[in-house]
Amino acid sequence: MHQSKLKLKKPLLLLATTMLLTVSLIIYFFNIGWELYIKEKNSLAIHASINKLSDRILYLDEVLTMSARSYILTGEIQWKDRYNIYEPELKIAIDKATALSSKTNLQRFISETKDSNDVLVSLERNAFLEVSRGNPQNAKSILLSSDYAKYKKIYSNGISRFLEGAKLETKEKVLKYKQTFRYYSQILIVSLLVIWVSVLLLFWKYFKQKMIAEKMLIESEDRLRVLAGLSYDISWQWDIINGEHKWFGDIDTTLGYEQNEFPRTIEAFEEIIHPDDRKRVMDNLSKHHKEHVKWHEIYRIIRKDGVVRLWDDRGETVWDKDGIPLVMTGAIMDITELDQSRSEMESISKELTQLIDTANAPIFGVDTNGNVNEWNQKVEQITGFTKDEVMGHNLVETRITEEFKESVQEVLNEALKGNETSNYEVPLFTKGGERVVVLLNATTRRNPQGQIVGVVGVGQDITEKKNAEKELEVYRNHLEELVASRTSKLKESEITLKKSREELRSLHNKLQSAVENEKIKISREIHDDLGQTLTAIKLDLSWLEKRIRTGFSEPSVHEKFKSIKLLLNDSFETIRKVSTELRPQALDVMGFPEAIKFQSEKFSENTNVKCKLNIQPDKTQLHPDLSTDLFRILQEGLTNISRHAQASNVKIEFFENGSDYILSIQDDGIGIDNLKVSDSGSLGLLGIRERVLQWNGQFKVDALTDKGTLLNVTIPKSNNNK
């Protein structure tokens, strides 16, 4: 590195004469003073190191104590890790203090500190072990124990006495050396006065220039501190006279060094410059000092870890009246990321331009005067005009159909005011004179400073869509006519179907009524006519049996009479059963509640399924037709249970609430598939549904969650008198 040297005129003759007269005394007293200086320097160095180590020991002790207590209180592993990091460092510091104290009278104090620290670390490690075993209370007990407090006190006292002793011993030695030095200085001072006068005369100009340089250094330091607080990362100052180089900012961290590790010399600075940039930078620096040209360099530096960074370095130099450089100051900005960002932005800009140009949507741009400054390939494809043919031409005047020029110009003007427009249909002329329609989004275009510089239009070619919409409108109108015609016919069909259903349901109801009346008639005829006939036959047979019994003794004749009687009894039972199936007498004589009891008893007798009844009230009077339909529903429900349910118990309920009659049949069988409930092939359920509908009632069959099936019928009371 080039370093300017002051060209001073030295009064050599005066200096030589003075030196000849005083050289003997100077050599003698210099040796004495040098020896005292070396002793004082060594003593100060030792005790300065001891003071520094003591401060470090106190700090590390506080860190370890806090980490140990925090880990025991919270159990968080980060405190234990922190303890493990700093505990070895504390031992190293104590060992260094022990080694230094061996040269003083303070060794016993640091020895006490070391021993007590070993005991404290052992206790804290035991506390950690208790925490890892899940015994935090035992860990707390260790840190609160009397032994821990005892050795903590010994440790603290040892450090305190060590520091106090170091300060006292240092003070005594320094005082002793100073007294000795003062004594010899009084003898030497007369001789040195001659030399001082000569030196002052010889270096008067040098000190004068140095004072100027120092004043400039102070002023430049103030400016550098301001710069360091602004956008610059680091500022620097180079005292060219003394070769000192100062940094303002965290130069060590910036270059990857430990604190104060990076040397504060111009040679060290030169060494970190990238080899490919070093010669250029140093040559330009030398040129700056000689020719007073501007200093502004961008160069690469290499950190301690080998990472390359890019610096922007600006500076200025103060020269004396002879043109000799005295002080140079400067500021550095790390522009690595900025340079990378600039490269990335250039790459992104190219990619964005390519993306716009090759986008599948028509994109064009105009400036504040409405002249085209962007025209991508898709617009070229739609209109047939190339970019070269339209660039710089007014969009509205040259490419928009006459009837839309005013409205398109208004959209562009609004966008230039910051009012953007979406989904605006813009008709354009093609090169062949055809008209195409683009669905446009007009977006305001701004520069990096936020100023409006134009409009960007991003659109979609909807020409085919518009043509298709017209065709679709024709088809839609035709379809609406067809739908209206079909709807009219469908309504007529629905009316006819509804009428047919009502007639069919009325016919079904009449048929059901006729069937029930016929069953009543047949039941009565069987019961009355056939029953009376068989009764008469049975009486005649009894009379004949009595006559024959007295006149014939043939056993076979008597057996034949018994057989005929049994057949007659079976015929009576069959007649009773058929008559009951056709029309139970209990339904006509005692009413629906008694008929439920009769049917349930008969069902239990025939199937061995237990029936539980709940009828409230048991004297309810129902319309005969309603009683018949509810009874047939009960019969059908019990028949389905006997055929399909595999049930052991059946619960039958009939009750009334404020507005309805409710019949409920529940079994504990295997349940019913919900698909079968709506199956049109289930004639039994279909018959139940029809019987309920004619009374404007509701019918529901559910498969229960646990198991079994629930059949529920609700009939409005208002229909009981219809």
Query: What percent of the chain lies above the pLDDT cut of 90?
Result: 7
Between 295 and 175, name the one with better pLDDT: 295
What pLDDT score does 107 carry?
Answer: 66
pLDDT of 84 over the 80 cut: yes
Question: For residues 22, 25, 27 and 29, what is the CA-based torsion angle, rounded to 10 degrees?
Answer: -140
Overall average pLDDT of the 190-195 stretch: 68
pLDDT in tens, 608-617: 899 999 888 7
Q: Which of 46-55, 267-276, 681-690, 699-708 has the highest mean pLDDT?
A: 267-276
Backbone torsions φ then ψ of 456, nearest 5 degrees: -110, 130
Between 579 and 708, name the one with better pLDDT: 708
Overall average pLDDT of the 155-173 stretch: 73
- β-strands 244-248, 234-239: how paired? antiparallel
- Give me the residues paired with residue 371 across strands: 394
pTM score above 0.85: no
Q: Per-residue confidence at 538, pLDDT binned at 50, 70, 90? A: low
Contacts 24+ apart (CB under 8 A), 255-259: 255/301, 255/303, 255/304, 256/303, 256/304, 256/305, 256/307, 257/304
pLDDT in tens, 580-589: 565 566 676 6
Q: Please give the biggest Cα pair distance in the chain.
A: 198
Q: Per-residue confidence at 526, pLDDT binned at 50, 70, 90? A: low
Tell me the angle at which helices 204-229 and 146-202 cross, rounded to the nearest 10 degrees.
Answer: 140
Record: fold of 208-334: Beta-Lactamase (3.30.450)
What pLDDT score does 219 carry?
Answer: 56
Tell me the angle at which helices 624-640 and 463-525 cross, rounded to the nearest 10 degrees.
Answer: 100
What are the extents of the domains in the chain? 12-202, 208-334, 341-461, 476-583, 588-719
Residue type at 249 in one-letter notation: G
Q: Per-residue confidence at 664, pLDDT binned at 50, 70, 90? A: very high
Residue type at 112 in one-letter notation: E
pLDDT in tens, 2-60: 333 333 334 445 556 666 766 776 677 677 767 777 777 777 777 777 777 777 877 88
pLDDT of 392 over the 80 cut: yes
Whether the Cβ atoms of residue 650 and residue 641 lie closer than 8 Å to each other: yes
Taking the C-alpha atoms of residue 410 and residue 432, their distance in angstroms, rounded to an integer, is 27
Looking at the structure, give the CATH architecture of the domain made up of residues 341-461: 2-Layer Sandwich (3.30)
What pLDDT score does 77 carry?
Answer: 85
pLDDT of 714 over the 90 cut: yes
What pLDDT score does 308 carry?
Answer: 92
339: Cβ contacts below 8 Å, ≥ 6 apart: 310
pLDDT in tens, 437-488: 777 778 888 887 778 888 887 877 777 676 777 777 787 887 888 888 788 8
pLDDT of 280 over the 90 cut: yes
CA–CA distances in Å: residue 109 to residues 54, 94, 156, 275: 12, 11, 10, 53
Taking the C-alpha atoms of residue 125 and residue 80, their distance in angstroms, rounded to an integer, is 10
Three-state DSSP state, 50:
helix
In the numeric block, which tokens belong to residue 590?
């005692």
In the numeric block, which tokens belong to residue 293?
């040209």
Taking the C-alpha atoms of residue 693 and residue 685, their distance in angstroms, rounded to an integer, is 12
- β-strands 325-334, 234-239: how paired? antiparallel
Domain pair 208-334 / 341-461, same fold:
yes
- β-strands 452-461, 363-367: how paired? antiparallel
- Counting every residue written for the chain, the total comes to 722
Q: Per-residue confidence at 348, pLDDT binned at 50, 70, 90? A: low
CA–CA distances in Å: residue 502 to residues 198, 268, 498, 499, 693: 142, 110, 6, 5, 11
pLDDT in tens, 209-248: 556 555 555 555 555 454 444 445 788 888 887 777 888 8
Between 392 and 210, name the one with better pLDDT: 392
What pLDDT score does 215 carry?
Answer: 59
What pLDDT score does 10 carry?
Answer: 40
What pLDDT score does 11 carry?
Answer: 42
What pLDDT score does 411 carry?
Answer: 84
Q: How many CB atoms lie within 10 A of CB 280?
A: 13
CA–CA distances in Å: residue 276 to residues 272, 302, 526: 11, 11, 129
- Give me the residues paired with residue 445 across strands: 454
Question: For residues 593, 598, 602 and 605, what is the CA-based torsion angle, rounded to 10 degrees?
Answer: 100
Q: Per-residue confidence at 649, pLDDT binned at 50, 70, 90? A: very high
Query: By C-alpha distance, which of 683, 678, 717 is closest to 701?
Result: 678
Overall average pLDDT of the 184-196 stretch: 68
Helix (H) or strand (E) holding 235: strand 234-239
Sign of CA dihedral 386, 392, 398, 399: positive
Please count the helices (runs of H) and the strands (runs of E) in the chain.
22, 15
- β-strands 435-446, 421-429: how paired? antiparallel
Taking the C-alpha atoms of residue 672 and residue 275, their distance in angstroms, rounded to an integer, is 92
What pLDDT score does 279 carry?
Answer: 92
3-state secondary structure string, 315-338? EEEEECCCCCEEEEEEEEEECHHH
Three-state DSSP state, 453:
strand
Taking the C-alpha atoms of residue 44 and residue 196, their distance in angstroms, rounded to an integer, is 28
Of the ranges 448-452, 638-642, 713-717, which one carries the lowest mean pLDDT score?
A: 448-452
pLDDT in tens, 373-389: 888 888 887 788 888 88
pLDDT in tens, 85-127: 888 887 887 777 767 655 555 666 667 777 787 888 888 888 8
Query: What percent of the chain lies above the pLDDT cut of 70?
Result: 70
Taking the C-alpha atoms of residue 701 and residue 666, their distance in angstroms, rounded to an integer, is 10
Residue type at 455 in one-letter notation: V
Overall average pLDDT of the 391-400 stretch: 84
Taking the C-alpha atoms of residue 535 and residue 2, their distance in angstroms, rounded to an integer, is 153
Taking the C-alpha atoms of residue 85 and residue 92, their distance in angstroms, rounded to an integer, is 12
Sign of CA dihedral 58, 60, 63, 67: negative
pLDDT in tens, 587-606: 766 678 888 888 888 888 88
pLDDT in tens, 543-577: 666 666 665 556 666 676 667 767 766 666 666 56
What pLDDT score does 588 carry?
Answer: 67
| Helix, strand, coil percentages for the chain (3-state, nearest 5) | 65, 15, 20
Whether the Cβ atoms of residue 211 and residue 239 lie closer than 8 Å to each other: no
Looking at the structure, give the CATH architecture of the domain made up of residues 12-202: Up-down Bundle (1.20)
Taking the C-alpha atoms of residue 192 and residue 379, their distance in angstroms, rounded to an integer, is 95
Asked if CATH classification 3.30.1330.10 holds for the domain at 588-719, the reply, yes or no, is no
In the numeric block, which tokens belong to residue 238?
């180079």
